[in-house]
């Protein structure tokens, strides 16, 4: 297999046993990291000169609805009920297979372009196996690494119709995908289940769905966005934990309203929690769960969530998560009447860990990605260190977390394949332009059919 030697200006491995290096080298063979260090003196077939770059693990997006790419920014001033009324009860009902394909292709390419090598795609507008297949096609064609979390549509129920809250996950679709194109956990795009959970479904449906996921050996994930008095099944995670059905194979997104007893049960079972800080600060009073999970000894996980409301840039999400974590630590310290903190309560490196290792752990793929260690997948992002907004680099961690953004991404490698080089995606430009125009047309058509009117500021 081909060996590529990357000569780095700065190498950030995220592996404490290896460390970080100024002037380090990274050797990859095929789709794997072979070695990381200084002056490797290794035989190679190709050299990538990254001597003016920061070389780091590819960012991982712990939660995003990629299909919503064509609806970016339409809900920048929405509150929570507006999102559900406009998207799930309306615009999403107008989406079909081609719309999902276009949103997922362009959305996944956007993520690669901004330095993300892996996403968990919580695809929750699916009405058929054909729609799921089309969404997977978009992810696969983009070249991104993805955990495709198969979800279900949430349309308003017609009179006499069973509401979605009482409908178990479609076994036939999961079985078809798991026994077909998504049979392996070793491929670049793998299968998971995006299930209703207790905030949006009955406890019976929740338990049925978790059992289905385990039957097929799948990771499952749920949304948790409601106070107890508004949940379909109040404190349902606590009940699932007591039943022995909650574990590391389940991920909860948001969870701001979850009380301490339920959260301790969740963490105690090894289940993970993903915060989407930009969205949560936008529309919820309780804090994102980053610091509460951290206090319980669990690695936080972070993601983007909803591009109709916030940016899809994981650098901005990482910066927001860190800033809120620090602010909340200062706030809580002051509320307890203590002297001002003299040491920064949350280090910058932690935020990078949330956006790499923490997200990989939340997806159950931390043995593959999140670090640049021998044997790990060659998922790599390189930042131009001479870009004006981050030059000069004194500490690469500070630069990555607190200074850099998507505009600084020069090169992205996914599964050993270069997907972006010299600041440009290596996806056919003419085809991408066509698909972008098609995606815009599909989104406009869906909004028109839904009679949605944009109320711009």
Q: What per-residue confidence (pLDDT) applies to 80?
A: 80
Kindly tell me if the per-residue pLDDT of 362 is higher than 80.
yes
Kindly tell me if the per-residue pLDDT of 329 is higher than 70.
yes
Report residue 42's pLDDT band, with 50, 70 and 90 as the boundaries. Answer: confident
Q: What per-residue confidence (pLDDT) applies to 52?
A: 98
Report residue 423's pLDDT band, with 50, 70 and 90 as the boundaries. Answer: very high
Distance in angstroms (rounded) separating the CA atoms of residues 198 and 19: 42
Q: What CATH number belongs to 59-362? A: 3.20.20.140
Q: How many residues does the chain have?
A: 457
CATH 3.20.20.140 in the chain, residue ranges: 59-362
Q: What per-residue confidence (pLDDT) applies to 397?
A: 98
- Mean pLDDT score of the chain, rounded to an integer? 97
Mean pLDDT over 86-104 rounds to 97
- Which of 120-124, 160-164, 291-295 has the least mean pLDDT? 160-164
Kindly tell me if the per-residue pLDDT of 315 is higher than 60.
yes
Q: Which of 347, 338, 276 is nearest to 312 (CA)?
A: 276
Q: What per-residue confidence (pLDDT) applies to 114?
A: 98
The tens digit of pLDDT for each residue in 175-192 reads: 999 999 999 999 999 999
Kindly tell me if the per-residue pLDDT of 435 is higher than 90.
yes
Mean pLDDT over 81-88 rounds to 94
Kindly tell me if the per-residue pLDDT of 122 is higher than 60.
yes
Burial code of 339-349, b = ≥16 C-beta within 10 A, e = fewer? eeeeeeebebb
Q: Which of 333, 393, 110, 305 is nearest to 401 (CA)?
A: 393
Kindly tell me if the per-residue pLDDT of 65 is higher than 60.
yes
Q: What per-residue confidence (pLDDT) applies to 456?
A: 61
The tens digit of pLDDT for each residue in 207-245 reads: 999 999 999 999 999 999 999 999 999 999 999 999 999
Contacts with 6 (C-beta within 8 Å, 6 or more apart), sequence order: 25, 26, 27, 28, 47, 48, 50, 55, 380, 382
Kindly tell me if the per-residue pLDDT of 104 is higher than 80.
yes
Q: What per-residue confidence (pLDDT) applies to 457?
A: 56
CATH 2.30.40.10 in the chain, residue ranges: 3-57+371-425
Q: What per-residue confidence (pLDDT) applies to 331?
A: 97
Q: What per-residue confidence (pLDDT) applies to 379?
A: 98
* Assigned superfamily of 3-57+371-425: Urease, subunit C, domain 1 (2.30.40.10)
Q: What per-residue confidence (pLDDT) applies to 232?
A: 95
311 and 285 Cβ atoms separated by less than 8 Å = no
Chain centre to alpha carbon of residue 286: 21
Report residue 50's pLDDT band, with 50, 70 and 90 as the boundaries. Answer: very high
Report residue 160's pLDDT band, with 50, 70 and 90 as the boundaries. Answer: confident
* DSSP symbol at 416: T
Q: Which of 51, 41, 54 is nearest to 14 (CA)?
A: 54
């Amino acid at each position: 297999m081909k060996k590529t030697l990357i000569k780095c200006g700065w190498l950030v491995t995220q592996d404490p046993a290896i460390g970080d290096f100024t002037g380090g080298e990274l050797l990859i063979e095929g789709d794997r990291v072979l070695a990381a260090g200084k002056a490797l003196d290794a035989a190679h077939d190709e050299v990538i000169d990254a001597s003016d770059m920061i070389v780091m693990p590819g960012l991982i997006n712990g939660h995003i609805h990629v299909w919503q790419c064509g609806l970016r920014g339409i809900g920048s001033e929405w509150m929570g009920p507006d999102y559900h009324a406009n998207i799930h009860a309306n615009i999403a009902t107008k989406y079909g297979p081609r719309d999902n394909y276009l949103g997922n292709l362009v959305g996944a390419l956007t993520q690669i372009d901004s330095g993300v090598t892996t996403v968990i795609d919580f695809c929750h507008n699916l009405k058929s196996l054909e729609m799921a297949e089309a969404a997977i096609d978009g992810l696969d064609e983009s070249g991104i690494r993805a955990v495709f979390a198969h979800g279900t549509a949430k349309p308003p129920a017609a009179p006499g119709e069973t509401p979605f809250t009482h409908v178990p996950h479609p076994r036939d679709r999961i079985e078809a995908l798991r026994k077909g194109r998504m049979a392996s956990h070793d491929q670049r795009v793998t299968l998971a289940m995006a299930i209703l959970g207790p905030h949006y479904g009955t406890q019976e449906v929740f338990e049925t769905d978790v059992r289905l996921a385990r039957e097929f050996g799948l990771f499952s994930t749920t949304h948790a966005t409601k106070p107890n008095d508004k949940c379909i099944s109040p404190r349902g995670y606590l009940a699932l934990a007591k039943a022995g059905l909650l574990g590391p194979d389940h991920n909860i997104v948001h969870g701001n309203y979850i009380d301490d007893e339920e959260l301790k049960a969740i963490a105690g079972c090894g289940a993970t929690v993903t915060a989407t800080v930009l969205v949560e600060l936008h529309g919820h009073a309780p804090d994102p769960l980053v610091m509460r999970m951290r206090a319980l000894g669990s690695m936080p996980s972070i993601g983007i969530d909803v591009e109709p409301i916030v940016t899809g840039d994981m650098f901005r999400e990482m910066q927001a998560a860190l800033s809120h974590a620090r602010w909340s630590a200062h706030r809580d310290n002051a509320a307890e009447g203590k002297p001002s903190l003299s040491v920064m309560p949350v280090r910058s490196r932690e935020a990078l860990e949330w956006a790499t290792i923490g997200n990989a752990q939340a997806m159950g793929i931390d043995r593959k990605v999140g670090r640049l260690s021998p044997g790990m997948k060659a998922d790599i992002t390189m930042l131009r260190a001479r870009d004006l907004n981050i030059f000069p680099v004194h500490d690469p961690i500070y630069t990555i977390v607190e200074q850099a953004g998507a505009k600084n991404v020069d090169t992205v490698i996914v599964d050993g394949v270069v997907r972006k080089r010299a600041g440009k995606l290596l996806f056919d430009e003419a085809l991408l332009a066509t698909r972008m125009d098609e995606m815009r047309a599909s989104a406009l058509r869906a909004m028109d059919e839904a009679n949605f009117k944009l109320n711009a500021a």
